[in-house]
Structure 1
């Protein structure tokens, strides 16, 4: 497996772990965070595509659908739903969503540097660190 594919595969695995962690958060049944938002985290990291750039000015979506981007953006509008979480759970949740939201944009901006230099792996390590504590 080549290096780029290995890095993208690891990012997808991080997304699955993060989604699983989000679903285990102590939130009410049917909570948006545990369903659609967790799904968006998984979808975003599983679908990363360094070739998804709209124009030569390096704008693009890195393989993430508009639907997933909208759900990832939605956490800031649903902060009240996190009020039952401990402070460290809230911080971890926001760290995960912020990193996942930023990864595709970073990837679309400068795909090969992000993969080769290790930025993508570093962001995935931040996500893993955020979800390392039990819920």
Structure 2
């Protein structure tokens, strides 16, 4: 996986913070909803997909924002895995610019703005899910 896009994506995908966040949220789901699914004849997997996952939209949105932000700003892992400039991420490329003899500040500022745009866009998209999750109580 060295010097490939999969090496940048797969190893940092499952974070302990994400597991902890979702595990702390799952017990707050009322047991009555899960029991109603069992009474209706749904299996465990269907209960998970039809009841639990829709109720977990808010923590999944928060986890998505955190994961995108962490992976987008990650410096050390892409520096270790990427051995060619074709696979460098924006923080690594910005650091490469700073190591040149003449520092092109206009390029550095442009790349910094581009690197912030994705994070802002993800937050604006996921903000709606977070607000919907806060407004919903779980029992409908």
Is TM-score (shorter-chain normalized) higher than 0.5?
Answer: no
The TM-score with structure 2 as length reference comes to 0.33
TM-score of the superposed pair, with normalisation by structure 1: 0.34
Higher RCO (C-alpha under 8 Å, 6+ residues apart)? 2
- More helix per residue: 1 or 2? 2
